[in-house]
Structure 1
Amino acid sequence: MLSVHDVAVTYSNGVTALHPTSLTFKRGQFIVLLGASGAGKSTLLRTLNGLVRPTRGEVRVEGRGSIFARRSALRAHRRSTGMVFQQHHLIGRLTALENVLTGRLAAHSTFRSMLPLPRADRMIALEALGRVGLVDRALHRADQLSGGQQQRVGIARAMAQRPETILADEPVASLDPATAVKVLDDLHRICREDGITAIISLHQVDLARRYADHVIGLAQGRIVFEGNPDTLRPDALDEIYHADQPRLAEAAE
């Protein structure tokens, strides 16, 4: 179980991206972070993976303590946490399989990772590609794949880590609606099958209602909503997106 305790983030320019926040993410849940751009969703996700060190507070893993207690604790946490990014972050000249295999590097020492990875790792990578329906594209260069396929390779790469937790920052923001549903279908199904805790930031209220077990709404770096997706009524959405933002409550009905 992952949790944050009184975590706040203020950047060097004086901007507070996340005000003091305490949350517990239950094991095996599919959790969606909702909020407008600049609401603090990305900062929260990056804090959960240790990419951003909080100005105050702690990020804890049940049974292990604070992820910032020592460097070995942070490395162990990152090995067990998969990341899916909005812009894929694939290496275009490498094949889909080679990109997925990068998800296995953290399982080896620095020296061992410089050598060809064992056959067992290749089998794990191929299995991960199969779970997103792309095993037939394993030897295709990443830059020859469609945007949706590239994002599914990104999911396979994260799954090749054999993670306990998946963090995804706007994973379908650049995709058309039909492709976004396909990508989230794959991610949701795999997390369910493997009991992985997923924390996903989204803009689309309809997708949050469709996939989330639990929704956390952020506005201006503060938690303004937390609850079941069925309780995402117009007043709650107004609180998340504010009157000066587009009224997504009407669009989502």
Structure 2
Amino acid sequence: MLRLDHATVTYPNGLTALQPTSLVFRPGEFTVLLGASGAGKSTLLRCLNGLVTPTSGDVIADGVGSIVHDRRALRRHRRRTGMVFQQHHLIGRLTALDNVLTGRLAAHGFVRSLFPLPRADRRLALAALDRVGLLDRALDRADRLSGGQQQRVGIARAMAQEPEIVLADEPVASLDPGSAERVLSDLHRICREDGIAAIVSLHQVELARRFADRVIALAHGRVVHDGRPGEIGPRVLDVIYDRPAPPLVDAAE
């Protein structure tokens, strides 16, 4: 379990990107953070891995404690938390396999990570690539893969950590609809099979409805909806996307 406790984020320029927010994320649940650009999705997501430190409040990980006030707790939390980024963050000159193996570095001490990783790590990385349908591209350079394939390598890298939690920050924002569908389908399937809690930020409503167990919608740094995907109707969307209510029509006209 991962918990936000009255977490607030105000940046140095005075912008409050996240209003006081308390949320609990449960094991095995596929949660989508839904909202327009600038709604606070990325800020909230990055608080959950310590990439953004709350101005006030706390982030508490089950079995670890506060990741805001205890640096050792933060390191333990990050070792069991996989990240999938919008822009892949792959090393283009390395093979897909070598990129996935970087997900194993945190499992070893600094000195050990300077040497070739054990065969067990290579087997685990190859299995992760197989799960996203890219085993046959394991020895191809990452910069020779399509955008969708690179993002699937990013998923495999996260899974090579053997995580308990996966955080994905707009993982399909730069992809065409077909590639976006494949990437989210792979991520959803693997998390379901392994009982991994996934927290994914999106702005595509239909993808949220299809894949989410739970949708947390944000607007102006504030949670405006928290519920099942089937509850995302026109009224909720009006609040999320600041759409004005339709004008009243005089019944006598």
Using structure 1 for the length normalisation, give the TM-score: 0.95
Q: Name the count of aligned residue pairs.
A: 244
**1:158 to 2:132 alignment:** no
- Match of residue 89 from structure 1: 89
- What is the CA distance between 1:63 and its match in structure 2? 2.5
**Do 2:4 and 2:24's aligned partners in 1 also have CA atoms closer than 8 Å?**
yes
Deviation at 1:69, TM superposition (A): 3.0
Q: Secondary structure at the match of 1:113?
A: helix
2:247 corresponds to: none
> Could you list the runs of 5+ residues in structure 2 that have no partner in the other structure?
245-253
Match of 1:126, SS state, is: helix
- For the residues of structure 1 that align with 2:62 and 2:130, how far apart are their CA atoms? 31
Query: Are residues 1:144 and 2:157 paired?
Result: no
**Whole-Å Cα distance in 2 between the matches of residues 237 and 105 of structure 1?**
42
Q: Partners in 1 of 2:187 and 2:180 — Cα distance?
A: 11
Residue 115 (structure 1) aligns with = 115
- TM-score, structure 2 normalization: 0.95
Q: Distance in 2 between matches of 1:82 and 1:31?
A: 15
**Contact in 1 for aligned 2:224/2:240 (Cα 8 Å):** yes
Alignment partner of 1:47 is 2:44: no
Residues 1-45 of structure 1: CA deviation (Å, up to 9, x unaligned): 011000000011111100100000111000000000000000001
Q: CA deviation at 1:241?
A: 1.0
Structure 1 position 67, deviation (Å)? 1.2
Q: Which runs of 4+ in 1 moved over 6 A?
A: none
Q: After the TM superposition, which residues 1-253 of structure 1 pair with which residues of structure 2 at under 5 Å, given as runs?
A: 1-243=1-243
Q: Structure 1: any 5+ residue segments left out of the alignment?
A: 245-253
Name the CA distance, whole Å, in 1 between partners of 2:69 and 2:40. 24
Residue type at the aligned position of 1:219: A
CA contact (8 A) 2:3 2:60 kept: yes
CA distance in 1, matches of 2:87, 2:64: 31
Q: Distance in 1 between matches of 2:67 and 2:195?
A: 21
- Percent identity over the alignment is 71
Structure 1: how far apart are the matches of 2:203 and 2:6?
Answer: 25
Where 2:33 maps in the other structure, the secondary structure is strand
The structure with the largest alpha-carbon Rg is: 2
1:50-84: per-residue Cα shift (whole Å, max 9, x none)? 01110001101123221123221110000110000
